[in-house]
Amino acid sequence: MSNQIFISYRRNGGDIAAKLICEALRNRGYSVFFDYDTLKSGFFDSKILESIEQCDDFVLVLPKNALDRCKDEQDWVRQEIRHALLKKKNIIPVRLGNFEFPKKLPQDIQDVLRYTAIRFQMEFFDTVINMITERLISTPRAEKEIPKKTAAPTPKEIRLTVYSPVNTEVFLNDTEHPIMRIDCNTGFDYASNTVTVCGKFDLIFRAKGFLKRLTYDSATVITNFDVNLSKILHSIEIEGSYSRDEAWAQIRRKPTAYAYQQLKAVGKAEDIDLLLDEMKKYMMIMAPDQHENYLIANCFVALGELAFRYKQPEKARVLLDVYQFYGAKRSYGWMMEPIVKKLRAYGL
């Protein structure tokens, strides 16, 4: 069975939004062509052109500067747009962040400027999807007929606990019904709540880098029901939920391990000196308590990882002194040891 909707995107900056849109449209019953792993690995594949021809709708996800590389005739986004225009597909541009259409494009894709773009905003994600579906030619494909005579499901009260490696909102059935929020800055990577479910129900998990909808049945879930998102999420979805700016804002208010963990993943070269300043503050504490020792370990790891990532290991030399006098090695030394080994191997 052919797909109804083709999603075109620029991997650099557009992959997460494209994946979220794809999942949302599939959840609404549409058949979507979305290549994430294979066809965009480098060589333009004729299968992409065939997929565009089979689809009625062409959703074009546009992160900042997405069309700059279209000057190259071999650019795959340009080839996809050109083919969609040539085959007179229903084109729906979706504009991310600070994307702006250039005033001029290559002649063969110039007509894409005539289409009005939908602005993508994560906080209004359901509204964005509604706007996309309103402009689709395709209609959701019918689901299998449900037997007419079935026993009515019985309402059931469950104690739901959700574990997440990132700050996450949790909803029941739709995003109008929030039931909990995991705030990792509190030091807890989970939240619990008692909810009443009946028959098939959906749990929706929303963060900056993902939107997940999982369907369950009240007849099969246990009373104390746990969901661990760490086993479900991809690394790109986790890192896509991190924010460097939010991490530093939290550190200025009150340092947390989660803030340092975010910087370890998405920090920049200029954060090395800033983390050095943080580490110097910790070195002034005469007798750090257990919580402070945990913060020291996380700051230590973030500083060490960034120093090696940006080829400035000499700036992390001070970490060897921190480790030597660190009084909580039994508890958190294992976190620091890989950095210490790398520093010593580097000859510092």
- The confidence band for 257, taking pLDDT boundaries of 50, 70 and 90, is very high
Specify the pLDDT at position 5. Answer: 94
Helices (H) and strands (E) in the chain — how many of each?
11, 12
**pTM for this model (two decimals):** 0.56
Please state the rounded mean pLDDT for residues 135-157: 68
Phi, psi of 91 (to 5 degrees): -95, 130
Two structure tokens written together for 327: 């009084």
Cβ proximity of 35 and 5 under 8 Å = no
pLDDT per residue as tens digits for the range 15-35: 888 989 998 999 999 999 987
Specify the pLDDT at position 28. Answer: 92
pLDDT per residue as tens digits for the range 231-254: 999 999 999 999 999 999 999 999
Task: Give percent above pLDDT 70 in the chain.
Answer: 93
pLDDT per residue as tens digits for the range 279-312: 999 999 878 899 999 999 999 999 999 999 999 9
* DSSP one-letter string for 218-260: TTTS-SEEEEEGGGT--HHHHHTT--HHHHHHHHHHS--HHHH
Distance CA 191, CA 316 (A): 36
- Residue 20: C-alpha distances to residues 17, 75, 192 (Å): 5, 24, 25
Residue 146 has pLDDT above 60, yes or no: no
Cβ proximity of 33 and 58 under 8 Å = no
Specify the pLDDT at position 305. Answer: 97
The chain-wide mean pLDDT, for the chain, equals 90
Distance CA 60, CA 92 (A): 6
pLDDT per residue as tens digits for the range 110-121: 999 999 999 998
pLDDT per residue as tens digits for the range 58-111: 999 999 989 999 999 888 899 999 999 999 999 999 999 889 888 889 999 999
Task: Give percent above pLDDT 90 in the chain.
Answer: 74
Write the DSSP symbol of residue 174: S
Cβ proximity of 17 and 61 under 8 Å = yes
Q: What does the buried/exposed string (b/e) look like for 57-89 if buried means 16 or more CB atoms within 10 Å of the residue's CB? A: bbbbbbbeebbeebeeeebbbbbbbbbbbeeeb
pLDDT per residue as tens digits for the range 124-136: 889 999 999 999 9
Specify the pLDDT at position 37. Answer: 43
Would you mind telling me the total number of residues written for the chain in this entry?
348
For 130, half-sphere exposure in the C-beta direction (CA atoms, 13 angstrom radius) is: 5
Distance CA 221, CA 157 (A): 10
- The confidence band for 36, taking pLDDT boundaries of 50, 70 and 90, is low
Specify the pLDDT at position 45. Answer: 67
